[in-house]
Structure 1
Amino acid sequence: MGVLGIIISLGLLMYLAYRGITVLILAPILALLAVLLGGQTDLLPMYTEVFMQNAAGYLKTYFPLFLLGAIFGKLMDESGAAKSIAHWIVAKIGKDRAILAIVLSCGILTYGGVSLFVVAFAVYPLAAALFREIGLPKRLIPACIALGSFTFTMTAFPGTPQIQNAIPIPFFKTDAYAAPILGIIAGLIMFGAGTYWITMRAKKMIANGEGYLPAGVTDETAATAEAGIEKELPSVGISILPILLVLVLNFYLSKVYYPGAKSEALIPILEKFGTAPGKVVGIWSIIIALVVAILFTVIVNWKRINVMETVNKGAYGSMLAILNTASEVGYGNVISGLAAFAIVKGALLGISSNPLVTTAVSVNILAGITGSASGGMSIALGAMGETFYNMAIQTGMNPELLHRIATLSCGGLDSMPHNGAVITLLGICGLTHKQSYADIGMVSVVIPLATTVIAVILGSMGIV
């Protein structure tokens, strides 16, 4: 009955989240439902001492990244820097390669630390105007944005400051540049295969007589798109410098400054706080890089934006994202603490003796159920991260491989139709699941899943 309770709880979480009920309400209620169905009656202790404590622990570790990332993204948006970079890329690549230009625009922005939601709002007006001008089907725009924002720069390319690449750091004692060769290979596969798919789909649609919109359909977002294009933008040089600061500083701090003697000097200091350099310096590196980039962006755009208003918007915008994910983490820890979960855990670990396989399967399943890349990975690693790490150490496997496979895996089944980012993206573009999800699913679910399989094979061969 306990296992059935877990299944019922997870099923309701997926269904009700898709119906639009906030996970802030769903997570504690459904976690306690699983507890009750498992035969336990200590509901309040499970809520206050397990759910809330683990949610609070997640906030302690990752809230600075959510907060700084949201503020940085909002500054890049309000200053026009994000749009400036996108315009420059389109101008250099050419309108005849609009699909490639939009994918690269989104990719460069997300790889530089701009949140995928900000990227969608910033790039959509340009994509809409460009696709309308050259007659490409509008319903492919969400797939272009999803490919550039939800895939290779979120999970694969080493050094990305996106939260999905930071979550494994304390579990595997790694940094944001873990398994760089494997990450680059996986990223290029997703980028190449995804771009090819969208290009082929565009050719087929045009050959069938489809233009920007089907006959008789009007574009209700056209006015918004035009307004976004007309705004005066900063120079591309000034716009891209904050992104370069994030990438360069993150690399320097995590690979040069902290490793070696510096980390050794931190050991006695961090022991007082019950932690170790391997669990924190990777996150510290991202925090410092984002702070410097934020300060630089504020200084160079001081007259262009209302700094206080923009920073406040970014800070407020980070709250829902971090609280949603923290609630999912609290939910996952309640579930993982149930006696019945030992059966589920045993089944997952019994899939293979290869920790890369079990990591990939576990993270993908939970990301798919929760509809959240960060939430699913946090639940999986919170419940089994230590087990995965010990398995890797015992077999002589580099923990960096676990980090990269975990990040790749969280970007597979997470993008099912109930995913919040997918729903938001379709809303921004004024399209429906029926019109655009098939292509979103191909570039952000099918191709990433296939890429993860390839990455597991290469990682098992020792490619780091």
Structure 2
Amino acid sequence: MVLGFIGLLGGLGLLIYLTMRGMNLLIVAPISALFVTLLNGLPLFPQLADEGAANFLTNYMSGFSGFIASWYLMFLTGAIFGKVMEDSGAAESISKWIVGKIGMKRAALAIVIACAVLTYGGVSLFVVAFSVYPMAVSLFKEANLPRRFIPAALAFGSTTFTMTSAGSPEIQNWIPIEFLGTNAYAGWEVSLIVAIFMMVFGYWWLKKAIQNAVNNGEEFIQRDSDHFEVRSHLPNPLVSMIPLLVVLGVSFIFHDSLKQSALIIALTGGIIATYLINRKYFSNVGKAISEGTIGAIIAIANTSAVVGFGGVVKATPAFQEAVSFMTDIPGSPLIGGVLAVAVIAGLTGSASGGQAIALPLLAPHYLDLGVDPEALHRVVSIASGSLDSLPSGGYVVTTIRSIAGETHKDAYPMFGALTVIVPTIGTILAVILFSIGL
């Protein structure tokens, strides 16, 4: 069993190391899963295992393909929605309107708020980063701020106080519905308090870090690949928010009857609303849809790769022992749930992937113990958005490397502070508030 635990930790360490060395997740994840397999004594192929028994190939591909089967349409509609918002100029219009209200000196805050509005409006996290990044570069250039903080600002506005908050249409807030019988607004009172805390504390930390870097002589460094194109005609920012309201409204109307499937209808409604309202502003709607589709495939493939890693991890005896240990921790059952989901999200590198693996195991156990499903929904959701942002996470790699063109060495310290440490503190706060009966 000791060797098995070494395999789990070593596999995660290998996943993080190879990812930070620049290797592709679609290659790194199965290699790391193979390491876990060998040290846990699992057969490599189904032909070498007893019928129905765990093995590397079956478990990896079941996790990989299962996640795609469950969530592809949500990734697809979210990515296309983000792209049509971008192509029509609606996302830029909303972002510039926000900047106009808070001022250029607060460039980082403008990026955080723009990401938060789009995320809570239903735009996929990956697409939010793609959509807001060009504006972030322009703002950081004008304000002469170090560009290595752009990924942290994008991620903080997208994956912390918005992604896992009550009412959020992001899948990280919807996965628990299937297993706990709750709705997207579960535990909203505690969620509101935690979200405000994370927003205020995280922004204070980001602002302080940027100021320290500026005081040390860091400044914006322009690249040959930068493009500062200015659109002469943009739609009205307030009108551009209507599709976001459509997504929120439709998801609210259908969340009880359709559960997480309501998000597909909501995002589709957002796409249609964007086209109808802003069709004269589109530059190439067909290209936007194609790019959104490609973006969705890349995003879900990266996430599924690490979910496949988690599928192998889940099949090991060492993992079962670890889950048993965490769920039997004395005190509030919420603590065990939080630890289990956070650790599994860390092992899989994905908040949604971690929940998809953990909740089928944890939900029946905790519901049988009489745990409040709304409280469990909220703490599990918030906790899933903490260790998922270790350096190997699919969103982390995509945002830092693919979108921002930064290195982990430069961008991850602040990125990790805001997306791992801040949500972890927020999770602890949520458990305390639920435990005292709030």
Question: TM-score, normalized by length of structure 2?
Answer: 0.87
Residue of structure 2 aligned with 1:143, choices 131, 142, 152: 152
* Correspondence for 2:95: 86
Give CA deviations for 1:236-281 in whole Å, capped at 9, x if unaligned. Answer: 13321111101111112225xx3xxxxxxxxxxxxxxxxxxxxxx2
1: CA distance, partners of 2:279 / 2:382? 38
Separation in 2, partners of 1:59, 1:449:
28
Counterpart check, 1:183 vs 2:185: no
Distance 1:300 1:462, change over 3 A: same
Q: Which residue is equivalent to 2:51?
A: none
> For residues 218 and 366 of structure 2, what CA distance do their matches in structure 1 show?
52
1:453 Cα deviation (Å)?
Answer: 0.8
User: Secondary structure in 2 aligned to 1:153?
Assistant: coil
Structure 2 residue 342 is matched with structure 1 residue 364: yes
| Residue ranges of structure 1 left out of the alignment (5+ in a row) | 259-280
Is 1:407 the equivalent of 2:381? Answer: yes
- SS at the partner of 1:301? helix
Give the superposition deviation at 1:83: 0.9
Q: Is the 8 A contact 1:250 1:285 kept in 2?
A: yes
CA distance in 1, matches of 2:394, 2:66: 23
Matched with 2:430 is: 455
**Partner residue, 1:396:** 370
The question of whether the paired residues in 1 share the 8 Å contact of 2:82 and 2:127 is answered with: yes
Per the alignment, residue 282 of structure 1 pairs with: 259
1:25-424 matched pairs, under 5 angstroms: 25-41=27-43, 43-44=45-46, 46-47=55-56, 49-155=58-164, 157-206=165-214, 208=215, 210=217, 212-213=219-220, 218-220=221-223, 223-224=226-227, 226-227=228-229, 229-230=230-231, 232-254=233-255, 258=257, 281-303=258-280, 304-379=282-357, 381=358, 385-424=359-398
Whether the aligned pair in 1 keeps the contact of 2:16 and 2:392 (CA below 8 Å) is yes
Rounded to whole Å, the distance in 2 between the matches of 1:423 and 1:399 is 33
Distance 1:457 1:420 in 2: 30
Contact 1:137 1:210 in 2 (8 A): no
CA-CA distance at 1:189 after TM superposition = 0.8
Q: Which moved more, 1:282-291 or 1:10-19?
A: 10-19
- Give the whole-Å Cα distance in 1 for the aligned partners of 2:187 and 2:172: 15
The 3-state SS of whatever aligns with 1:458 is helix
Structure 2 contact 346–354 (Cα < 8 Å) conserved: yes
Residue deviations 1:299-320, cap 9 Å, x none?
A: 2333414333222221222123
Tell me the amino acid that sits aligned with residue 150 of structure 1.
T
Q: 1:24 to 1:44 in 2, by over 3 A?
A: farther
TM-score, scaled to structure 1: 0.83
- Separation of aligned partners in 1, 2:288 and 2:241: 19
Rounded Cα–Cα distance in structure 1 between residues aligned with 2:404 and 2:35: 37
Q: Which amino acid aligns with 1:12?
A: L
Tell me the residue number matched to 2:52: none
Partner-residue secondary structure (3-state), 2:316: coil
Amino acid at match of 1:174: T
Q: Is the 8 A contact 2:112 2:153 kept in 1?
A: yes
For this pair of structures, how many residues does the alignment match? 427
Maintained 8 Å contact 2:63/2:310: no
Pick closer, same or farther for the CA change 1:329–1:95 going to 2, 3 Å: closer
Q: Is the 8 A contact 1:14 1:371 kept in 2?
A: no
Distance 1:253 1:440 in 2: 35
Does the aligned pair in 1 maintain the 2:306–2:349 contact within 8 Å?
no
Q: Which residue of 2 aligns with 1:278?
A: none
The 8 Å contact of residues 310 and 348 in structure 2, kept in 1 or not, is answered as no
Q: Is the 8 A contact 1:367 1:414 kept in 2?
A: yes
Conserved? CA contact 1:355–1:391, under 8 Å: no
Letter in 2 for 1:289: A
CA contact (8 A) 1:72 1:293 kept: yes
Cα deviation, 1:15-66, whole Å, max 9, x if unaligned, reads 3333344443444454455344333436225356544344433333222211
| Aligned-pair CA distance for 1:230 | 3.8
Q: Is the 8 A contact 1:368 1:416 kept in 2?
A: yes
**Counterpart secondary structure, 1:361:** helix
Provide the C-alpha distance between the structure 2 equivalents of 1:41 and 1:460, rounded to a whole number of angstroms: 43
- Secondary structure (helix, strand or coil) at the match of 1:302 reads helix
Identical amino acids, percent of aligned pairs: 41
The residue aligned with 1:274 is none
Q: Deviation at 1:139? A: 3.8
- Structure 2 unmatched ranges of 5 or more: 48-54
User: RMSD of the TM alignment (CA)?
Assistant: 2.7
- The CA distance in 1 between the partners of 2:423 and 2:181, in whole Å, is 25
Is the Cα–Cα contact under 8 Å of residues 149 and 411 in structure 2 kept in the other structure?
A: yes
